[in-house]
Amino acid sequence: MKKFYQLFSIVFALLFLCLPLIKHIYTGDEIKSEENRNLTQMPSQAINLTSLSKYTSQFDTYLADQFGFRDAFIRTANRLRYRLFNEATSKQITMGKNGFIFLNSHSAKHLYSLINNVCDIKPLTKNLQDDAIKVFSKFIKLYENQGYQTGIAIIPTKSRIYPENLLNPQAEICQANTTTWLDKRVKEVTGRGIYYPLDKFRQWKSEFQVFLPAYFHWNGELPYRVAEDMMKNYWHIEPKLEVKSENTSVETDLKRFLFGLNIHDETKKYDYSPYKITSCKGAHCFKDLAHVYKRIIGFRYFKDSNTHRKLLILSDSFGAKITPHFIRGFDEVAMIELNRLKKKERLAFFESVLTIEKPTHFLLLFHDGGSKGRTLLLNNILSKYD
């Protein structure tokens, strides 16, 4: 019987080691993965002895991306870690208190940078702050002078609104730092000023779930309310449509980091179907801009009305959820995400986008963690107007 156990274990272990290889041979290489990136493909052959070392290292990377049952292994590892320790395999995710999940950084190289930035744990330098205020004012003035009703919206993120659900030490610091540099200095932006709804979010927190626990971006009621508030109080436009909502369940937008876990949130879904709204999603809706922004992502919404108002939003990933709600006050709303805009495309894009789109209203929207990035972007673009 002991021999049987031994034999069973040996066969089982060997089989387990062989299966990834067998599957890889059988199914071949994959290209896309759940991780939102292309998987490494087989490297081209090494030509000489010196390049052989580099080749083997590339081959290691290739095999690590392509071995059979990779997804199943990763899914199991993620589930085990989550169930046993309430932790995510990716260090970019902070599993906070009360079911809250925070994206702490956009890059694995700078963990916690997102939280540290927005909570002023690592604030922008005084020079960068000055630059930000200057360039935001300049942006508004420049495009207002060109005839566009121009605005900037900075959206506070979850760690500002629910700091108590972070883990220590971030929880303690974010709770203590109730006023950050942005809160203090945002009023210095001249012209129309910046739409920065931090106080509103804090007030709304007692009325509804401002940010969904497992979501990084906003969703449901919050973007709806912000769109309404912006139209009324920032642009003085009365939204026309009355929209009904119903409760729905949404999968976390952090699922790339939580692959294999089935985490959902309850939220509100707004129903625009009674109104004749047409929409267009994707690069083909912006054909005229393709020559200046190759990998463009964007949405368009049209409504059959005659307000003669068209809104153009240039945004980060927060733009997608708020865009449809602006249709309540505009005939047309177009949103273009800047995340894929390459450095060398910036100038040409900004020079073309307004003349091609011809909006009446122009909005730059980003979340508070993106202040530095947007400052640098605008500095780069607007420097020619000095």
Partner 1 sequence: MIFSSITFLFYFLPLFLLLYFITPFKNTVLLIASLFFYAWGEAQYVVLMLFSIGINFSFGLLIDKNSQTQTKIKQLFILSLGVIANLLLLGYFKYFNFISGDLLHIELSEPVHLPLGISFFTFQAISYLVDVYRKEAKVEKNIFNLALYISMFPQLIAGPIVRFKTVAKQIHNRLHTLDNISKGMRIFIIGLAQKALIANTVAITADEIFALPESALTTAVAWLGAFCYTFQIYFDFAGYSNMAIGLGLIMGFTFPKNFNYPYISQSITEFWRRWHMSLSTWFRDYLYIPLGGNRISPFRTYTNLMLVFLLCGLWHGAAWTFIFLGAYHGLFLMLERFKLSQLLDKLPAIIRHTYTLIVVVFGWVIFRAENLTQLQYYSKTLLGLGQGTSVLETIPTFFSHSLATTLTFAVLFSLPIFNYLKTQFKSTISNQQSVKTLSFHAIFEIFYLSIFLLSIVNIASGSYNPFIYFRF
**Can you give the binding site for partner 1, defined by CB under 8 A?**
1-3, 5-10, 12-14, 16-18, 20-21, 34-38, 49-50, 52-53, 56, 59-60, 63-65, 67-68, 70, 73-74, 76-78, 80-81, 84-87, 89-90, 92, 103, 106, 108, 112, 116, 121, 167-170, 173, 216, 253-254, 256-257, 259, 295, 317, 339
Q: Is 139 helix (H, G, I), strand (E, B) or coil?
A: helix
53 or 278: whose CB is closer to partner 1? 53
89 or 360: whose CB is closer to partner 1? 89
10 or 280: whose CB is closer to partner 1? 10
Structure tokens belonging to residue 250: 């949404």
**Shortest distance, position 178 Cβ to partner 1, whole Å:** 16
Residue 55: what are its φ and ψ, rounded to 5°? -65, -45
| HSE (side-chain half, CA atoms, 13 Å) at 269 | 9
Consecutive H or E run containing 27: helix 2-27
109 or 236: whose CB is closer to partner 1? 109
127 or 168: whose CB is closer to partner 1? 168
CA 296, 297, 301 angle in degrees (round to 5)? 125
- State whether the Cα torsion 229-232-236-240 is positive or negative: positive
DSSP state of 308: -
**Shortest distance, position 125 Cβ to partner 1, whole Å:** 17
**Shortest distance, position 296 Cβ to partner 1, whole Å:** 14
CA–CA distance from 382 to each of 11, 140, 348, 350, 361 (Å)? 67, 11, 12, 10, 19
**Shortest distance, position 208 Cβ to partner 1, whole Å:** 25
Residue 249: what are its φ and ψ, rounded to 5°? -105, 135
Burial code (b: 16+ CB inside 10 Å, e: under 16) for 155-178 equals: bbbbbbbbbebbeeebbebbeebe
DSSP state of 360: S
55 or 272: whose CB is closer to partner 1? 55
Q: Is 162 helix (H, G, I), strand (E, B) or coil?
A: coil
**Shortest distance, position 85 Cβ to partner 1, whole Å:** 4
99 or 169: whose CB is closer to partner 1? 169
Structure tokens belonging to residue 157: 């993120």
**Shortest distance, position 7 Cβ to partner 1, whole Å:** 7
**Shortest distance, position 64 Cβ to partner 1, whole Å:** 4
